[in-house]
Structure 1
Amino acid sequence: MTAPWEEPDHKNLSNLIKKAKRKTFIRNIIISLIVTVVVLFGGFLLNIQLISSSSSQESKDEYALKNISGPNQYISGITGQDGFLSGTTEYNIYKVVEGVPIPWRTKKTVYNVFPFLPFANIGGSVNGLSLSLPDPDMIREGYEYTRSYNGLTGQRLMNFYIPDVNYNGKVLNDLSALEQMDQDKLVEMAISFDKPYSLAEVRKMIPPELTQVWYWVDTYDNRKFYDPYKDGNGNISFANPLFESWVFGFGIHLDGPQMNEKDFIASLEQGLEGKYEYEFNRIYNYLRGDKAKPSESDIRLLGVVLTGNAKELQILKGQPYVRGAVLGAIVDKY
């Protein structure tokens, strides 16, 4: 038999064990909660730091690209939305025609801290819409391509023609169209040259009453790509002009000194290791040839974007250096 006095001791021991287990359980829960909070807070701070770094690099890459592309286009504002190890950024872009701003498009980019792990975001960038519409005059004259327009604003998109490329004689010249519009209309026009020129030559030969806002640089390392070719039926296809989103060059600063060849080379060097490094390296290597780096004399211009009123731009009619002239945005002065 168990002694009477042994039963309370047994119960007390059992209670002590239960209390110890309960304390251990509560302590473990508290520790787990503290660790979870610390880990979550640390992860939150780490996510902010990683996202901030990725967002900064994304903006750097986009501004580097903008410095060598987008004729007469400027970034007016940036909005962003961060997620878990990913985010999106929207760039609002506008044009300026003789001091009049024109909302142009919005570019949306998606970035990830680890590009191979997209997490919540999948995809690339979404650009402003464009649309093509038939032009009766172009159809009548046998053009194989159509007019392009900004799908958001309805404004015309500029075309560019590479010198010596065979377009089957179908090169637009909108200078005569200027006579048919209000002479006070402010217009943007892409001028494609008959041959490459230096920046000094372009600035000298363009009439001073016209504003030179952007210069188109020769970045075409594979001219054979634009040669006519025969399809399987024996028909010959000719090159189409380049849209303004496909050309590279440099322009003026709205609030600073004009860019030059040296600035263009510096802009290329900024993008050699970024998001668009393939295109930057292709252009950089084409310009430098066998040298260590390009020089200012390697920058040859194939065209220029001008602004002015309809009357002023008509001074270009008959100029031997004008191979093509394509209207872009058109606005009123006020």
Structure 2
Amino acid sequence: MTAPWEQKDDQNLSKVIKKAKRKTMIRNTIISLVVTVIVLFGGMLGNAHLTSWLAMRGLDEERIMMKISSPNLQELRTELDLGFLSGKVELSTYKVVEGVPIVWDTKKLYFDMGSRFSLLNRGYSSINVPDPVMTQQNYEYYRGYNSQNGQREMMFYVPGVNYNEKVLNDLPSLEQMEPGKLIEMAVSFDKSYTQAEVEKMLPAGLTQTWYWVDTYDNKKNLEFIRNDSSPNKYALPESARQVYGYGGEWEGLFKPKPEDFLHSLAYGLQMKGKHYGEFERISNYLKKDKAAPDASDVQLLGVVVTGTAKELQSLKGKPYVNTAVLGAIVDKY
């Protein structure tokens, strides 16, 4: 038989044990909640950091490629939409024609851990419209127009390449325009020149905004079309998205030079991103058997110029002009 005081001691001990268990359970619950919050918060921070890193690296890759492949274009703005280890980016660009800005492209890209950056939406695709004069002369391609603003898109012709005598030349059209119209033109040369030669031979008064660099390691590959109109294969003109070069930055504050193109190439190679193969191909073509290309290896096949319709007529009859194709056209006011 248990004494009364022993029963009381057992009850007190039971209460103490229950109280201790309750405290332990509460403490463990609090610890679990704190750990969960820390893990979730850390995961969110980690995801934000890693996703931002992916976005910035991908943007650098796209920007350095745009820098050498976007004639007379500047970046307008960048919009990021970040998710879990993935996201979307919009890159908007504009161009300036004699001080007048024109909104141009919006490139939408998607990225994640596996695919880096991939094109999500070709929002800047051209609208190909038959030109009555080109149709009459049996041209086998159309003139391209920007899908966002309806402006003409420039075309370029590589010297020495067979175009089946279908080379577009818009210089005669300048006489039909108001003399004060502000115009962008892609001038394709008869052969390659250095920047110093180009600056010296082009008429004064024209703004040289972008220089087209010879990066064609196999020009014969451009001639891939064959039909009844020609016994030989021939090429189509290069669009503004197929050419490489360099131009002014910061609204012409800094004068462009061949070294700018080489620096962009070197940076693209250093990044080892998705465009590495193209940067390597261009670099190998320029340097030939040297360790690295230098400014003398940067030869120009053309130039993008801006000016008034009257000023651009000064290009007529110049022996170095193979052809000149219209780009954007705007009013001064």
Distance 1:332 1:155 in 2: 13
Q: Deviations over 1:247-283 (max 9, x none)?
A: 1001123252211111211111111133322211111
Conservation of the 8 A alpha-carbon contact between 1:100 and 1:333: yes
Offset of residue 59 of structure 1: 3.0
In 2, the alpha carbon distance for the partners of 1:86 and 1:95 equals 30
Aligned length: 327
In 2, Cα distance between the equivalents of 1:236 and 1:255?
A: 43
The equivalent residue for 1:77 is 77
Inter-partner Cα distance in structure 2 for 1:123 and 1:71: 22
Q: Secondary structure at the match of 2:121?
A: coil
Counterpart contact for 1:228–1:236, Cα < 8 Å: no
User: Is 1:126 aligned to residue 125 of structure 2?
Assistant: no
Report whether the alignment pairs 1:111 with 2:111. yes
**What is aligned with 2:306?**
307
Counterpart residue type for residue 281 of structure 1: E
Q: How does 1:1-334 map to 2 (within 5 A)?
A: 3=2, 5=4, 14-112=14-112, 114-115=113-114, 123-127=118-122, 128-228=124-224, 230=226, 238-253=234-249, 254-274=251-271, 275=273, 276-334=275-333
Instruction: State the SS of the aligned residue for 1:246.
Output: coil
Alpha-carbon distance between aligned partners in 1 of 2:169 and 2:8, rounded to the nearest angstrom = 109
Shift of 1:194: 0.9
2:21 match: secondary structure: helix
Question: Which letter maps to 1:154?
Answer: G
3-state secondary structure, aligned to 1:272: helix
Q: 299-308 or 223-232: which moved more?
A: 223-232
| Higher mean displacement: 316-325 or 236-245 | 236-245
Distance between the aligned counterparts of 2:252 and 2:12, measured in 1? 85
Residue identity opposite 1:259 in structure 2: P
Could you tell me whether the CA contact under 8 Å between 1:217 and 1:303 is conserved in 2? yes
Q: Provide the C-alpha distance between the structure 1 equivalents of 2:114 and 2:217, rounded to a whole number of angstroms.
A: 30
> Are residues 237 and 21 of structure 1, via their aligned partners in 2, closer, same or farther at CA, if it must alter by over 3 Å?
farther
Higher mean C-alpha deviation, range 194-203 or range 8-17: 8-17
Query: 2:173, 2:11 → 1: CA distance?
Result: 105
- Larger CA deviation: 24-33 vs 298-307: 24-33
SS at match of 1:271: helix
Query: What percent of counterpart residues are identical?
Result: 52
Q: CA deviation at 1:65?
A: 1.8
The offset of 1:37, in angstroms, is 1.1
In structure 1, distance between residues paired with 2:2 and 2:150? 102
Q: How far apart are 1:175 and its partner, in Å?
A: 0.4
Contact map agreement 2:225 2:235 (CA 8 A) in 1:
no
Moved more, 291-300 or 312-321: 312-321
Q: Which moved more, 1:299-308 or 1:261-270?
A: 261-270
Structure 1 portions without partners, runs of 5+: none
Name the SS of the counterpart of 2:328 in structure 1.
strand
Query: Is the CA contact (8 Å cut-off) linking 1:284 and 1:294 kept in structure 2?
Result: yes
Cα 1:130–1:311 change in 2 (3 A) is same
Is the 1:166–1:228 Cα contact (8 Å) retained in structure 2? no
Mapped to 2, the partners of 1:148 and 1:63 lie a distance apart of: 24
For residues 292 and 314 of structure 2, the distance between their equivalents in structure 1, rounded to whole angstroms, comes to 38
TM-superposed CA distance for 1:204, in Å, is 0.8
SS at 1:184's partner residue? coil
CA distance in 2, matches of 1:194, 1:235: 24
Residue-by-residue CA offset, 1:291-328 (whole Å, 9 max, x unaligned): 10001111110000010111111111121111121100
Letter in 2 for 1:315: S
- Structure 1 pair 170–76 and aligned structure 2 pair: CA distance change class (3 A): same
Distance 2:111 2:225 in 1: 39
The answer (yes or no) to whether the contact 1:94–1:104 under 8 Å persists in 2 is yes
Q: Which amino acid aligns with 1:27?
A: R
Query: Matches of 1:125 and 1:159 in 2, distance apart?
Result: 25
Over 3 Å counting, the alpha-carbon distance change for 1:255 and 1:187 in structure 2 is closer
Give the stretch that moved more between structures: 199-208 or 36-45.
36-45
Q: CA deviation at 1:111?
A: 2.9
Moved more, 168-177 or 54-63: 54-63
Shift in Å at residue 91 of structure 1?
2.1
CA contact (8 A) 2:161 2:234 kept: no
- What secondary structure sits across from 1:195 in the alignment? strand
TM-align CA RMSD: 2.3
